Amino acid sequence: MKSSIKIIAGNASRPLAEAIAAYLELPLAKCMVRRFADMEIFVELQENVRGEDVFIVQSTSFPANDHLMELLIMIDAARRSSARRITAVIPYFGYARQDRRTSGRTPISAKLVANLITEAGADRVLTLDLHAGQIQGFFDIPTDNLFAAPVMVRDIKERLPSADRMVVSPDVGGVVRARAIAKRIDCPLAIVDKRRERPGESEVMNIIGEVEGRSCILVDDIVDSGGTLVNAAEALLNAGARDVSAYITHGVLSGGAVSRIAASRMKELVITDSIQPTQAVKLARNIRVATIAPLLGEAIGRTATEASVSSLFD
């Protein structure tokens, strides 16, 4: 069955795709992606994919529009080359934070992106820790939303002492995700409740749970500017936490986020390689990358053999 799998790398996720292919003991399929002088994207599959099970690995991270367009064109190229099945493997699904209308005349961009991927010719989608679970329902094709929890739990158990650790959600909206991690490592849960008492006043961080003397572990799906994360860590330390680490699936880390985190009192931020880490991230003193390649590789292998993917998280 492995011989019928073709792993194709997009420019956003080439190192990750190479690691996935290595896990599956397969070569990367040959694919050329280049730009014309006017910056149009051109894709050419440089080996036969007729009748093959094609998996295109491409996060739609910054620059999101370029990487999304590249993904759509790669899907179209595979479809027109008579691939038997095309799975879009999107470790980080851009536009996921635009999953609902926030006012009267705004789009639901996550739904539009789902439509584009489907219409381009994808038969299936594999993604990781969607910002909003309901995005699975935006697709009219089978969609597997994988969880980075097994990777995080393994790392936490190896590196952090069990006696005094506590999982913390940095906001009320992330409680379900944080509770799942806390349950797996058998430790208590705390919540940072962020609110403004009056309009125009600074946000107040209220800690729900006893964190004094604890080794706190902030858990979330996305770190972007880093402001919420750093402020939550500071609030926990001020409340008596012994130290604060953070485990975040998607390291968007835009603007001055890396500098902000490096200058903070946070012990460590652990992110996955769902988004290709920049050189600044690699050099940061307190940011570490945990790979999701084996997790995605196993999911791809199971998809190709029609085995259960959900049992990976039982």
- What span, in angstroms and rounded, lies between the C-alpha atoms of 264 and 22? 36
The reply, when asked if residue 297 is annotated as ligand binding, is no
Tokens of 129: 């820790």
The reply, when asked if residue 39 is annotated as ligand binding, is yes
Coil/strand/helix, residue 158: helix
- Distances in Å between the Cα of 183 and the Cα atoms of 116, 187, 196, 289, 314 are 37, 7, 31, 23, 13
The reply, when asked if residue 220 is annotated as ligand binding, is yes
- What span, in angstroms and rounded, lies between the C-alpha atoms of 159 and 175? 23
The reply, when asked if residue 250 is annotated as ligand binding, is no
- What span, in angstroms and rounded, lies between the C-alpha atoms of 181 and 249? 12
The reply, when asked if residue 136 is annotated as ligand binding, is no
Q: Would residue 194 show up in a list of annotated catalytic residues for this protein?
A: yes
The reply, when asked if residue 197 is annotated as ligand binding, is no
Coil/strand/helix, residue 179: helix
Question: Peptide bond preceding 142: is omega within 30 degrees of 0, i.e. cis?
Answer: no
The reply, when asked if residue 38 is annotated as ligand binding, is yes
The reply, when asked if residue 288 is annotated as ligand binding, is no
The reply, when asked if residue 266 is annotated as ligand binding, is no
Which residue of the set 2, 6, 194, 267 is catalytic? 194
Q: Which residues contact 140 (CB under 8 A, 6 or more apart)?
A: 114, 118
- Distances in Å between the Cα of 170 and the Cα atoms of 125, 146, 276 are 29, 21, 24
Coil/strand/helix, residue 233: helix
The reply, when asked if residue 98 is annotated as ligand binding, is yes
The reply, when asked if residue 87 is annotated as ligand binding, is no
- Binding residue ranges for D-ribose 5-phosphate: 196, 220, 224-228
- Binding residue ranges: 38-40, 97-98, 131, 171, 196, 220, 224-228
- Binding residue ranges for ATP: 38-40, 97-98
- Binding residue ranges for Mg(2+): 131, 171
Active site residues: 194
